Structures are given as C-alpha cells and as structure tokens.
Amino acid sequence: MRIALHTLGCKLNYSETATVRDELVQRGHVVVPFSEEADVLLVNTCSVTENADTECRKIIRRGLRTSPNASVVITGCYAQLQPEEIASIDGVKAVVGMTQKFNIGEMLDVIVSSASPRIYVDEISTATVFNGSRTGRGDSRTRSFFKIQDGCDYSCTFCTIPLARGPARAMSLLAIRQELESIAHEGYHEVVLSGINLGEYRGENEERFIDVLKMIDDYEPPYRVRISSIEPNTLSTEIIDLIAASKTFVPHLHVPLQSGSADVLRSMRRRYNPGKYREMAAHIATVMPHAALGIDVIVGFPGETDELFEETVTFLESLPFTYLHVFTYSERENTPARSMSGRVDVSLRRARTQKLRALSNERTTRFHAEQCGSTRVMIPEGFDPTTGTWDGWTENHVYVRLEAPSTLMKKPYRVLLQQVERDAVRVVPLETLELTTPPILPVLNNMEHA
C-alpha cells in the first residue's frame, strides 16, 4: 500500500513517526509525501495545545482532498486522550493509542478492510514498556532525534502529557550505547537526545541521566550531541559542568521556566522557584559564556495578574537567555488548571504572548551580533536555490547561512560568523568545502514522511 504520514507536535513525535515509517517499509509498503495520492493517511498527533482537534481535522481534510478513498489512521497523544471524539470524524478508519502506535504495521490490513472505525487505545497509566525511536534510518538529514526516555511522573496542573504518555520509563544504558553506535555507522553528524522528562531518566540498574551523559562522553562518538530539553530541577551543576568540559556535547541547553512568578509556579506545581532557576542560568553563563539558553514560558495561566506577568517579564530580562518558546495558555480537559479561578481573557493572553516574543527576538538578535567574529562549526541542512545558500545551525544554536553550491556535502565545516541578517548570521568557510556529485535530495519542511 501507498502510505502518507504527517506529524504534529514535538520532535519526539517525529522520531516515533520515523520508527513507524521504517517498520511499514520493512513490511513492503511504500511511503509517499502527504501531498501525493495514498491508500492510507497516517497522522501522528499532539495534545499540548487547544488546537489539537482543529489541527487534526484540518490535516485529515487536506489529505482526503488528494486521496478521497484513503483509510485515515490517527495516532499519538491526542488519539490517546480523545479516541471516541476522533473516531467520529468523517473518514477516520482507526484511532491508535500510545501503547499500540508501534504495532500499526501489523494491524493495517484489518484496519483497511474494516467497515467501521476501530479504536485501539489501552490504559496508559500502568505502562511499563519503553518503545525506543529515532529519526535517521533512510533519512537524507544530518541530525538524528533519539528518544531515550518517555512518560512523566510529575503533576503540573496545566499538562496532559502524563495522561497521554503514562509514567516515566526509559531505554537501558546498554541499548543507548548500541543505538549510538548504529547512528555512527549511518554517518549522522548530530544526535539530539530526546525524552518527555530527560532529567528523570532511570535505567534498569537505577542509572541516572548523568550516567547516560558520562557514558556518551567516554564513548566520544564521531558526531556532536545535543540535549533537547531538561527540567530545571533536574539540571544539576554536575551536568552543566560535564557539558562545559565535553568535546561531544554542544553548549546549548533548553530549560523550561514557564513563569518568573513564584506564585504562578506554585499554582502550576512546578518543582523549583525563580531563585533556583536564576542560580542555574548564572552558572551556565559562567562556565559556558558562549552557550545558548532557550526557555519555555506559558503566559495567561489562571491567576496571572498584570503584576505577576510583569514579574515574569522583569525576571526574564535579568536572565542570560538566547531565545524563548512562548506558549499561550489553553484550557485542557482533565487538568486541575482548567477549574482554577482567575481566568485570563484570551485577548490579554495573546497580547502578553506578543510582548514576550518581541523580547525573544531582541535577545536572539543580540546573541547573533555577539557571536559575529567568532569561529563555530556549522552543519549544512537545507539548500535554497533562489539565494544559492545553505542554512544550518552552529554548535551553540546560531542559525547561519552559507553561500555554496547545491552539491555541498552535508558535513561539519568550520565557519566565521560574519554578519547578522534578518533571521540568520551570514558565515564564510574557514576550510575547503567538499562537493558531492549525486543530486541533493529536497528537504521536507514539515517532515511529512519523516
């Protein structure tokens, strides 16, 4: 069968879609772009925002316009949380929950031949099996997102992730090492360690996340390693110092804050306070002054008054951050925050979001300017034929642009950061560029069949 895949949400979802795709290919199916006619439309969904339902329906309609006779299969976090609702959407043949996601290949014949929608959703709260996944095998990309942990035991009042993904569980240390060696053989130049709550990693012998990092650092793989995101209460001084001294780990950390107000953090049931976060950020800046620090922030949480929001703004302005991921709070079913008092008007939430995004843009531009004149390592990722340039990221998360032929080999290059442009930094090579004769495969912006 011809199968088209589309992924919504986080990088973890992309790695899981890639694993499902590989299994489908092994079974003899043909994976095609979502824009092409297909027999099956498989959508891997997200549940983080209130737009999950809208996005899911929009993607289904888009796919059915191209493939009106296709069987639609919906999986992912939204499928786990709202299976009956999704099954009622016109065109949906099956809803597959998180515990069954990696069995879609063996269920496909039954799904396609079924006369009515089928629901394959099990209880997730007692899940113990860890399903590893990563982007990589067969991709034309330079970076592999590698999931080593899943689930979360926290009880943040705004979050549905524990309901969708179940309790924390992880890949064994030995299995991680073996997979890293496989990635090395495939020639990837960067690995992003991914998980729902990486800092709470627990191996089968009670190894902690620091043990994973030490193992990788000792291994010295032929690629650089990036940590996707880590909770501030789990980001120890030991971890920061290891990254700072490492030749493998890059100087880039993404650490969710959510609010700079102690009152709001308590309402969210977060496991730290602004003071602890400030100490952590200051230590990063001290031992890695060239590092990028990314921060997640939620605005418009119930009870966030103008004064409390300004506390967050003032707190953020005092931090050495590089960029923000700003989320407008949305009410989610089965979360304590949904019934909290002090609801913030939606228009005010949006205004606060815009204010923080403007602050983020200012900081990113400043960071880019500070990096000009420095030497970094760029890995080319996507080629733009209209400008004759490649874009990519440096080790410290600077988005850069390099003028080079379309046949440029996608490998690490030392570059000089030269000039800030609107959304990137123009760089020049400090070593000979290597070219390849085969044509470069197009980069799929939406990772539709990644």
pLDDT at 425: 98
Residues 39, 131: one domain?
Answer: no
pLDDT surpassing 80 at residue 440: no
pLDDT at 47: 79
Last residue of a domain, one of 231, 250, 269: 250
Residue type, 9: G
Dihedral pair phi/psi, residue 262, rounded to 5°: -60, -35
Residues 96, 68: one domain?
Answer: yes
Which tokens is 383 given?
């080629």
pLDDT at 422: 86
- Residue 439 lies in domain: 372-450
Residue 291 lies in a domain: no
Four-residue CA torsion sign, 88, 90, 93, 99 = negative
Residues 103, 206: one domain?
Answer: no
Q: CA 225 to CA 445: how far, in whole Å?
A: 22
Bridge-based pairing of strands 118-120 and 92-96 is: parallel
- Alpha helical stretches, state H, 67-207: 77-81, 83-87, 104-113, 161-165, 173-185
**What would you report as the CA-atom Rg of the chain, rounded to the nearest whole angstrom?**
22
DSSP class per residue in 267-287: HHT-S--HHHHHHHHHHHHHH
Element holding 294 (H helix, E strand): strand 292-299
pLDDT at 410: 92
Residues 33, 81: one domain?
Answer: yes
Q: Output the domain CATH number for residue 381.
A: 2.40.50.140
Residues 411, 431: one domain?
Answer: yes
Bigger pLDDT: 248 or 106? 248
Element holding 53 (H helix, E strand): helix 52-66
Interval 143-169: pLDDT, tens:
899 999 999 999 999 999 999 999 999
Looking up tokens 């899940």 gives 127
Residue type, 214: K
Last residue of a domain, one of 216, 250, 284: 250
Residues 115, 128: one domain?
Answer: no
Residue 49 lies in a domain: yes
Q: CA 62 to CA 58: how far, in whole Å?
A: 6
CA dihedral 246, 194, 295, 10 (to 10 degrees): 150
Give the global pTM. 0.89
Interval 350-391: pLDDT, tens:
999 999 999 999 999 999 999 999 999 999 999 999 999 999
Residue type, 350: R
Residue type, 393: W
Are 302 and 267 a contacting pair, CB within 8 Å? yes
